[in-house]
Each structure stands twice: as C-alpha cells, then as structure tokens.
Structure 1
Amino acid sequence: MNLDIERDVDYRVPALQRGLMVLEMFSSQQRQLSSHDIAERLGLSVSAIYRILHTLLEMGYLNKISKNTFELGPQVMCNGFSYLASRDIVEIAMPHLNNLRDRTSMTCHLSIREQTDSLYIYRAFAAQRLSVNIPIGSRLPCHCTAMGRVLLCDLSELELDNLYRHVRLDDYPPPAPKTLPELIKILVSDRETGWVLHRSDYSTAIACAINDHTGKVVAAINLSGPEAILDNPETQLICREHLLKTAKVISREFGGVNR
C-alpha cells in the first residue's frame, strides 16, 4: 500500500466532525449556547445544523433549556467518565469478589451499565465443572439479567421510557419482560427487595447494587452457579447474605452509601 497516497484521501465524516465540534464548544466558562451561536462558530446557517442538534438532543448529549438554547446533556458525563470510573471500581471490588468466590464457590461478576447493556468488567471465576463463565467485556441486555435489572433500578419511569423508546423487548426468551410496562413493574419489585434473582440455562444468579456517595447505583455485582445448587433455599440465603455484605463493603470503599 502506498502510504503517501493513503494520506491524501480524506476519510473524515463532516456531520460527525461538526457534531463533535459542537460538544467541544461547551466549557466551564461557556455552559450555554444558542443555536445561532453554534451555527456562527461552525460558519453555517441555523437550518444547516438543525439535524446535528436534533441528533445530539435525542442521544442525550445536549439538553434544550429554552427554545433555541442548549447545554451539555448527561450522556456526555456518562460516556466520558464511565471507563475511568470502571477502572476505579474494579480495583476496589477485585479482592472482595475474589473473597466472595472463595467463600461461596460461585463465580462472581462486576458490571456497569452502558445504555441498555450490562457491560461485564470483572470476573472472579470459580474453578468447578459447572461454573458460569461470562468473559470480561461481554455485553448482555440489562432487562435479561440479574445485574442488568439492578443497574436499571435507579432510573425513573421517564428515564426508562427514553432509554427504551426505540428498543424492542419481545425478541428475548422468557423470563425476560416483553414490554416496557412489564419491565417497569418488575423493577418496582426489585427496588423493594434490594436484590435480584434470575434463572436461565440451568444456572441461577443473584445480584445487588454498588452505590456512590449520593446513593446512586454505579455498578452491580452477582454470584452465579448451577441451578441445582442455588435452588436450595438454605444455600441461596447464605449466598445472598454474603453477596449483600460484600456489596456494602465495596460501596463503602468506593465512597458510597447503601440504601
């Protein structure tokens, strides 16, 4: 391949470039901008940037605070710091999840939410024949898993409606909820319980939340194992107590509080 020729090819996507330029216009000194300000800085008309602003609004990267005035939306913070936060939480949670695995002989996982997915960022693997093995980096739909439901518990009905507005839920097998109202009803029960139990493919998982200093759910942990073992009420109770104690310790070390 001729690298000199390759450099001459412009692979930039103008609309994406302009969208990122819009986000870069905001700062601690410039918290709000009008559509006219944004268009002027880009050297375009307001009508030419309408679709860019609409897309950023829809995705949560901008908030509209008046008819033609905008500020940065929560998705900027969510995506900008989720990786850094996940590194911190992994370092804190790792020894405690390893200890939880050793005490229960169950595989333990740690995950964070990215949109409607539960992203697995750590695994303490239990070396037994029927261990549950979900690799780090795996993404599973939140509404289908114990940890995912925990990660959704903090969201209001409005937030859930916005999050799942264009997401189909009926493509997944039972016991996953088929509709948003059904999911919301399940999450109400999950909040009251303070933990989630989920069965699938001959395995069972129990999950609970890791909270930050405001009480917000920032991550979830679980322990999972063969259905034949965790279906035993006494074993399930012991494992759940160990899990909840571990979550309290991790939350406290993360600077958080447990509800």
Structure 2
Amino acid sequence: MSVEPANDDVEIARRDYKVPAAEKALDILEFMAACREDVTQTEISAALGRSIHEVYRIIQLLEGRGYLIRTKSDRYRLSLKLFELAHMHPPVNRLVDVALPVMRDLAARANQSCHLVVLRGSSVLIVLQVDSPLPMRYSVALGSHFPILETSSGAVLLAFTPPQERAALVDRLVAAGEAEMPRDAVEQRIADILANGYEMRASLAVEGCTNIAVPIRDHTGATIAALTVPYLPQKQARLDRLAVLEEAAIAAIEISRSLGAAEGRARVSGDRPSDQDPERPGHKGRKT
C-alpha cells in the first residue's frame, strides 16, 4: 500500500530541492540588479563567494540570452531584458496600456511630466513615464528602482498596502535602516496619506520639485500602482500645485475605473493638507 506524502512535506521537499546552476544564475542577476556601476567577472565571483570557474559559464549564458551586456573593457551590466519580460506579464501590460493615454492627457493639461510606479519588494519600480510638453521637464528613467520612503509614490503604495502587510514592511524598512526617519515619523506620514488620499510634499531628492502622488486601484479595490507628478514651478506652466493635484486625482480615478475599480471621487478640495504640503494655509512658498 502506497502512502501519499502530506502537502506540507511536499512543499518542504520542493523548497529543499537544489538546482545549483539556476541558483548561480539567480545570484548573479540579483547581484547585478543592485550594482550601480559595471563590474568584472572577478568582482562578481568575489561578491558571491564563488570561484571564477563557477560563474564563468553562467555569465556567458546570461550574456548570450541578453540578460547581461559586456562592455569593451570586459565589464558587465544588467540589460533591460528582465524589465521587458515584466512588461509582458499581463497585469503590468494591462496597467500600462490603460494608463498611457490618460497620462498623456494629464501631461498636456498640467504642463508637467508624470510617471507610474509599482511596488517591488522593498523598493518601487518605474513602469511608465510621460514627459511634459514644456522645454524644461523632470523625467525618470523607465525601469528605475528607488527606496520606498524616498519617494511619494512609495509612501502612497505603502500607506494603501493591507495593514498586516504594511506593518511587516515598515518593520523591515526600519530594521534595515532604509526608512531614514524614526518609526513614529513613518507612521505619521502613512496616517496623513490615508487621511488625505494622496501625498503632496517637497521632493526628498530634487530641490524645487514637489511630488504629487495618488493611488491607482484595480477591480478588487486594491492599490496596485501610484501615479506621480513631479511638479516643477515655471512661468509657462498654466496650473498651480493644487490644480495639478486635482488633475492627477481625476486621472487616477479614470485609470482605476478602466481597470474595473468602483466609482470614486477626487478627494482633494476641502481636504486637510499634510504638514509637508506646500499649498497648506500659511505656507510662504510661491504659488505659480
């Protein structure tokens, strides 16, 4: 008589099953994704604690399949193939297809660039960028990764993550020192976003830029992306920050509705602005 293994035993066996070549390939890809500069085979092998012999053939394979690019100086960088594969995945592809025409209209109306961001582990990923029609503009490279709390996009995505998942993610960010602020400040930032339905605050990375970020929801009501306008004040821009916020909120609702989300409203007018809001009452910043 045969006895079928319990489901838990099968799952444990699957996790313990080793595929050395695949593990080496994934180790290299994950290491390369974190590299800001081109690296040599020697540097790759040293970083992974593996011999040159162990990684040589894997590197050649990854280069041959288009995942790595070799420079004239025999250094390697990660290509955009993983990013392209991610965009072939139906949910992301659908999101980009729906958002693109709406974001083009938003950029034209607001005279501001805008981009679409999704959460990927402990960072955020830029999946779509539309430039402002004005000569001076702020653009973010497609496929760029940023720490969650360095961006308003990330803060909005974090705020609208289900509470249990959000608490676990905040724990990880604080423990790893990636929050760059006390936990109570993180919690207050999240509370402000949940109360307002958006974040509008001075950019932590670019002086003179105000980040305006609003959530994008799917048919289940889950927040799956953030639409962000990096607002640059200039003479040719027709709208001030609050007007751009209104336009961004309307665009987010339009994208969400196209993804099957229930009807919503642009929660902007009359809402309580956060302490970081440049348009809050009594703020001395110049209004364009």
Structure 1 counterpart of 2:193: 190
TM-score, length basis structure 2? 0.57
Alpha-carbon spacing, 1:252–1:37, altered in 2? closer, same or farther (3 Å): closer
Q: CA deviation at 1:169?
A: 7.6
For 1:3-53, what per-residue CA distance to the aligned partner results, in whole angstroms no more than 9, with x for missing partners? xxxxxxxxxxxxxxxxxxxxxxxxxxxxx8223774499799xxxxxxxxx
* Distance in 1 separating the partners of 2:247 and 2:164: 34
Q: CA deviation at 1:237?
A: 1.5
Structure 2 counterpart of 1:254: 259
Alpha-carbon spacing, 1:96–1:34, altered in 2? closer, same or farther (3 Å): same
* Distance in 1 separating the partners of 2:8 and 2:158: 33
* Distance in 1 separating the partners of 2:137 and 2:14: 59
Work out whether residues 127 and 143 of structure 2, in 8 Å CA contact, stay in contact via their aligned partners in 1: yes
Q: Which aligned pairs between 1:97-176 and structure 2 lie closer than 5 A?
A: 97-168=103-174
For 1:46-93, what per-residue CA distance to the aligned partner results, in whole angstroms no more than 9, with x for missing partners? xxxxxxxxxxxxxxxxxxxxxxxxxxxxxxxxxx99943111100000
Work out whether residues 124 and 147 of structure 2, in 8 Å CA contact, stay in contact via their aligned partners in 1: yes
Gaps in structure 2 of 5+ consecutive residues: 1-5, 19-85, 265-288
Work out whether residues 200 and 211 of structure 2, in 8 Å CA contact, stay in contact via their aligned partners in 1: yes
2:96 aligned with 1:93: no
Alpha-carbon spacing, 1:156–1:251, altered in 2? closer, same or farther (3 Å): closer
TM-score, length basis structure 1? 0.63
Aligned length: 188
2:18 aligned with 1:34: no
Alpha-carbon spacing, 1:240–1:82, altered in 2? closer, same or farther (3 Å): farther
AA at the equivalent of 2:241: Q
* Distance in 2 separating the partners of 1:198 and 1:85: 29
Select 2:183's aligned residue among 180, 185, 190. Answer: 180
Structure 1 counterpart of 2:279: none
Alpha-carbon spacing, 1:82–1:144, altered in 2? closer, same or farther (3 Å): farther
Q: CA deviation at 1:165?
A: 3.5
For 1:205-259, what per-residue CA distance to the aligned partner results, in whole angstroms no more than 9, with x for missing partners? 2010111122110111011232x459x9x71121111111111111001111355
Structure 1 counterpart of 2:247: 242
* Distance in 2 separating the partners of 1:181 and 1:37: 38
Q: Percent identity?
A: 22
* Distance in 2 separating the partners of 1:134 and 1:219: 16
Aligned-partner SS, 1:186: helix
Q: CA deviation at 1:127?
A: 4.2
* Distance in 2 separating the partners of 1:85 and 1:130: 33
* Distance in 1 separating the partners of 2:17 and 2:227: 48
Structure 2 counterpart of 1:4: none
For 1:84-106, what per-residue CA distance to the aligned partner results, in whole angstroms no more than 9, with x for missing partners? 31111000000000010001110
Select 1:219's aligned residue among 194, 209, 225. Answer: 225
Structure 1 counterpart of 2:51: none
2:217 aligned with 1:204: no
AA at the equivalent of 2:225: A
* Distance in 1 separating the partners of 2:185 and 2:140: 27
Work out whether residues 210 and 218 of structure 1, in 8 Å CA contact, stay in contact via their aligned partners in 2: yes
Alpha-carbon spacing, 1:113–1:37, altered in 2? closer, same or farther (3 Å): closer
- Provide the aligned C-alpha RMSD in A: 3.4
For 1:165-189, what per-residue CA distance to the aligned partner results, in whole angstroms no more than 9, with x for missing partners? 34358967xxx75133321221111
* Distance in 1 separating the partners of 2:215 and 2:15: 43
Work out whether residues 92 and 253 of structure 1, in 8 Å CA contact, stay in contact via their aligned partners in 2: yes
